[in-house]
Amino acid sequence: MKENLEQKRFQKNPIRGTKFTIAVSSAKGGVGKSTFATNLAIALKKVGCRVGLLDADIYGPSLPKLFSINSKPESDGQNLKPILKYDIQCMSIGFLTDEQTPMIWRGPMVTSAIKTFTQKVAWKDLDFIIVDMPPGTGDTQLTFSQEINMDGVIIISTPQEIALQDVKRGIKMFDKLKVRIIGLVDNMSHFIGDDNKKYAIFGEGGVEKTAKEFNKDFLVEIPINPDVGKQGDMGIPIVESKPGHEISKIFISLANKIKSIYI
Ligand SMILES: Nc1ncnc2c1ncn2[C@@H]1O[C@H](COP(=O)(O)OP(=O)(O)OP(=O)(O)O)[C@@H](O)[C@H]1O
Ligand SMILES: [Mg+2]
């Protein structure tokens, strides 16, 4: 399998400076893609990989807030230098614009911003770039899948039917574009109360069932935990600030799994 992955890498433009590019996607908004992408990036770092994080959400960048980054990237006239935070090389359109400025861009401008971020950023010596995708099945997903080498995509969903409907569209899109789906993640799958009981607030088992239906791997379920949101709001993701937390352990175990698939 590793040989096949290596072969595939040479068919499209790889992002320079990284061995593998993995996207975090879901056609549905608000299911926790950015939260997952930031925590997975840190978990991969903790298991010994060199990691970059590319916020590909041009209209609604999250990385400045989730990593508490307020500085602007430097340019050497040719390339933008990623901003190093928590030992992760980071890039986001949000580093270049005012937080409150809405991006009123047409599709071709989004495509060109993505090309800049993949071809004109001085990513250096990375094992993985984790790409945080915007919601939907639009220009960003197409640009990445068709023009840039993507080594895999992880699909995030919450268990509600309404989320799964969109997720199924997302799976079909990546299948059509021949991007390897590493597997599905059930985020905010359930809540563990103070009474230690499991509450399936949004329903149970739907993501795993969808994975089976489409013959994809089911990777993991991540419970709803207020600490996850709190740490994101503080700009220090939970895996960085509380590596021993039960949620962090889930991410670190997943990072080990992903590392073993590719490296
Ligand atoms: N496992 C979790 N437990 C508790 N809160 C979570 C969890 N995962 C995500 N959240 C919260 O859900 C909200 C949405 O998360 P996030 O912004 O990561 O979603 P998204 O899919 O990237 O959204 P968008 O589609 O707008 O990019 C955030 O407030 C985040 O803190
Ligand atoms: Mg997001």
230: CA distance to ligand 2 center in Å?
Answer: 16
Pick the CATH number of 2-153+228-262 from 3.40.50.300, 3.90.226.10, 1.10.1040.10, 3.30.70.120: 3.40.50.300
Q: Whose CA is nearest to atom 8 of ligand 1?
A: 32
* Strand 88-92 relative to strand 152-157, pairing: unpaired
Q: Whose CA is nearest to atom 28 of ligand 1?
A: 229
194: CA distance to ligand 1 center in Å?
Answer: 22
Which of the ligands is closest to the CA of residue 234?
A: 1
CA 190 and chain centroid, separation: 21
Q: What is the 3-state secondary structure (H, E, C) of 126-178?
A: EEEEEEECCCCCCHHHHHHHHHECCCEEEEEECCCHHHHHHHHHHHHHHHHCC
4: CA distance to ligand 2 center in Å?
Answer: 31
Other Cβ atoms less than 10 A from the Cβ of 198: the count is 11
Q: Whose CA is nearest to atom 12 of ligand 1?
A: 32
For the chain, what are the domain ranges? 2-153+228-262
232: CA distance to ligand 2 center in Å?
Answer: 12
Ligand 1 touching residue 35 (CB < 6 A): yes
State the distance between the two ends of the chain, measured CA to CA, in whole angstroms. Answer: 11
pLDDT under 50 in the chain at which residues?
A: 3, 6-10
Ligand 1 touching residue 94 (CB < 6 A): no
Q: Which amino acid, one-letter code, is at 86?
A: Y
62: CA distance to ligand 2 center in Å?
Answer: 6
pLDDT for position 10: 47
- Measure Cα distances from 88 to 80, 83, 107 in Å: 15, 8, 29
Q: Whose CA is nearest to atom 19 of ligand 1?
A: 32
